[in-house]
């Protein structure tokens, strides 16, 4: 890492204050939200004292717990199916060459580029056309498709970094393709799979726009429930829910980062 004195970027006037302002704009509201989740006063903007009561209110609220359960069901199911699809796609894209391979790669990355609102409207239209009733299953399907690229990129990067001669050596030792995959490829690929799965899980857990469009009755997830809460005003209860979601997100992103370090 370059030190401040050796980085030519710091020579330009105003770079350091601008960077400080940008980071403050990004992260200061998050710290304020966490701080006010411990506010004793129900009016979120008036500090009167420190308390943990709002976290107890959140954990004892059956509607919040139901929304959290739906979020975990959707995120777990979408992560499993998206990761499985990403493994198959990664193996096909890195082990075989075919015409149109670059086009397929571009299609795989398309959900990362297309605005989420466009994806949400298109997915809703698709479910309406095929006559599928909106509910938890439609949310899982939509999240699975949306999360595939997030699981695919770490897995593909891991596969590209693997030495193909290891699989060739296994074949020379009379291992069939399935045994080669199970004994050689999968153990080496495991860090990429875990990293992609955790990234897909946290993306699914935090996705609001797609969920809002394709969720039916009884399929409310935590982000959608929080949106409904803030429409009647921001309270320490909302801040507490948001802080808990932030804690989970930070934990999974940190684990994904650490596993990515293991890959290198």
Note the pLDDT tens digit of each residue in 61-103. 888 889 889 999 999 999 999 999 999 888 888 776 777 777 7
CA-based nearest residue to 92, from 181, 203, 205:
181
Thinking of the domain 62-263, which architecture would CATH place it in? Answer: Orthogonal Bundle (1.10)
Across all residues in the chain, what is the average pLDDT?
A: 82
Secondary structure of the chain: what % helix, strand, coil (to 5)?
80, 0, 20
List, for residues 29-45, the tens digit of each pLDDT value: 888 888 888 888 777 67
What is the average pLDDT across 123-127? 92
- The dihedral over CA atoms of 32, 256, 116, 135, expressed in degrees to the nearest 10, equals -100
Across 105-114, average pLDDT: 80
Kindly indicate the confidence band of residue 2, based on its pLDDT and cuts at 50, 70 and 90: very low
Q: Is the pLDDT of residue 56 over 80?
A: yes
Provide φ and ψ at 6, rounded to 5°: -95, -5
CATH 1.10.3720.10, the chain: domain bounds: 62-263
Whole-prediction pTM value?
A: 0.80
Residue 80 is predicted with a pLDDT of: 94
Taken in order 170, 172, 177, 179, is the CA torsion positive or negative?
negative
* pLDDT above 70 coverage of the chain, percent: 91
Q: Residue 255 belongs to what H/E stretch? A: helix 236-263
Do residues 214 and 142 lie in contact, with contact meaning Cβ atoms separated by under 8 Å?
A: yes
pLDDT value at position 261? Answer: 67
Helix or strand holding residue 9 (H, E) = none
């Amino acid at each position: 890492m370059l030190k401040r004195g050796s980085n030519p970027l710091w020579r330009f006037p105003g770079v350091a204050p601008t960077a400080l302002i940008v980071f403050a704009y990004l992260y200061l509201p998050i710290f304020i939200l966490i701080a006010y989740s411990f506010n004793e006063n129900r009016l979120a903007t008036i500090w009167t004292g420190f308390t943990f009561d709002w976290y107890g209110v959140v954990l004892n609220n059956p509607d919040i717990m139901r929304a959290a359960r739906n979020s975990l069901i959707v995120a777990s199911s979408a992560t499993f199916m998206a990761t499985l699809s990403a493994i198959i796609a990664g193996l096909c894209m890195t082990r075989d060459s075919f015409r149109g391979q670059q086009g397929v790669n571009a299609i795989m990355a398309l959900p990362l580029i297309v605005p989420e609102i466009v994806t949400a409207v298109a997915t809703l239209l698709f479910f309406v056309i095929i006559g599928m009733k909106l509910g938890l299953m439609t949310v899982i399907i939509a999240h699975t498709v949306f999360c595939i690229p997030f699981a695919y990129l770490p897995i593909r990067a891991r596969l590209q970094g693997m030495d193909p001669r290891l699989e060739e050596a296994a074949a020379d030792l009379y291992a069939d393709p399935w045994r080669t995959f199970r004994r050689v490829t999968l153990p080496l690929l495991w860090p990429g799979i875990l990293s992609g799965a955790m990234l897909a899980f946290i993306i699914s857990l935090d996705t609001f726009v797609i969920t809002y469009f394709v969720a039916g009755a009884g399929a409310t997830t935590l982000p959608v429930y929080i949106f409904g809460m803030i429409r009647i005003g921001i309270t320490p209860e909302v801040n507490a829910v948001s802080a808990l979601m932030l804690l989970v997100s930070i934990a999974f992103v940190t684990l994904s980062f650490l596993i990515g370090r293991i890959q290198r």
